A and B are shown apart, each in its own frame.
Chain A
Amino acid sequence: MRNIEIFEDFINLGYNKSTRLNRLRDRVVSELIILRSTFAGDTVYYLQTGCSLFIPGDWMELFKSLYVHSGDRILYKKEPEDNNYYDNIIYLNIKLINILTGSKIDGDKFLDTLGDISNLGTNKFRKMLKNKYDLYIEPFEYRSTTKTLEI
């Protein structure tokens, strides 16, 4: 079964956005890099450069729920063999949640996975969610002193 099919099964069960508690939690990713979780979402802050990468809360919640529902099945298969965008983006996000479930974040793995997700981009997946399931999720946002990019 492909990752996109597992995802479709999951979402057709009636995925509901859960109510998130207002919280702030910082976790160390690497030297002078933190991951800050708030109500709005998770943000990676690079303290040395002042850059940040925002991951919307709805995105994280969606994949946390999928992780609980089918995370093992998706991770078990390892990386999808073909270059299917949807299978890959689902796999990478489940891998990201898996890295975050530990008490300590493996910084290199986390940043590599986030880099891979950024390379693929989230727009195609977000568009599919909107068109197929009427689910709107904000984009990832990279912010530096000179530019703000939607990923």
Chain B
Amino acid sequence: MSREENIQEQVREYLEKKEIYSHSIIYTYEFGGIYGLLGVTVYNKDDLEDLLKLLDYDSLCDKTGYMVIEEYNTLIISGSSLAKLLTDLSYEKH
């Protein structure tokens, strides 16, 4: 399994533990600078709201690095926001 696929799998497992089921999780280094970019698409609006709640999105003062595309129930994360999520995931794993 490549590093990209490994990260995708970790994110999927993490979300499923929180009962958020995703249609698509793609991690790539082709966008988003050194940390890469993560795109998560869930099946409906409720799941997207749950995902944003999980990430404490509404209370964030600085939403840099987050792109919410409500029309497609998609969240795209990059930059230091993504680095933080990946760090949280690795703590969760250990």
Query: For the complex, is A52 an interface residue (Cβ under 8 Å from B)?
Result: yes
B-side interface residues, number (CB < 8 Å): 19
Nearest to B4 among chain A residues (CB) is A24
- Residue from A27, A32, A34, A52 within 8 A of B24 (CB atoms): A52
- Residue from A28, A47, A145 within 8 A of B76 (CB atoms): A47
For residue A49, which residues in chain B have a CB less than 8 angstroms away from its CB? 41, 69, 72, 74
Whole-angstrom distance between the alpha carbons of A36 and B2 in the complex? 12
Check if A45 sits within 8 Å of B74, measured CB to CB: no
User: How many residue pairs, one in A and one in B, have C-beta atoms under 8 Å apart?
Assistant: 56
Check if A145 sits within 8 Å of B41, measured CB to CB: yes
Q: Which residue of A36, A48, A50, A145 has the most chain B CB atoms within 10 A of its CB atom?
A: A50
Whole-angstrom distance between the alpha carbons of A80 and B88 in the complex? 55
Whole-angstrom distance between the alpha carbons of A144 and B31 in the complex? 22
Q: What bracket does the count of chain A residues touching chain B fall in?
A: 10 to 19
Whole-angstrom distance between the alpha carbons of A45 and B24 in the complex? 9
For residue A51, which residues in chain B have a CB less than 8 angstroms away from its CB? 24
Whole-angstrom distance between the alpha carbons of A97 and B37 in the complex? 27
- Residue from B5, B23, B26, B72 within 8 A of A34 (CB atoms): B26
Check if B28 sits within 8 Å of A50, measured CB to CB: no
Nearest to B67 among chain A residues (CB) is A48
Q: What are 16 A-B interface contacts by the 8 Å CB criterion?
A: A24-B2, A24-B4, A26-B30, A34-B26, A34-B28, A36-B26, A36-B28, A45-B28, A48-B39, A48-B74, A49-B69, A50-B23, A50-B74, A51-B24, A52-B24, A145-B23
| Chain B residues near A (Cβ < 8 Å) | 2, 4-5, 23-24, 26, 28-31, 37, 39, 41, 43, 69, 72-74, 76
Known: A49-B74, A145-B41. 13 other contacts (CB 8 A): A32-B31, A32-B39, A34-B26, A48-B76, A49-B69, A49-B72, A50-B72, A50-B73, A51-B24, A52-B24, A144-B23, A145-B23, A145-B72
| Chain A residues near B (Cβ < 8 Å) | 24, 26-28, 32, 34, 36, 45, 47-52, 143-145
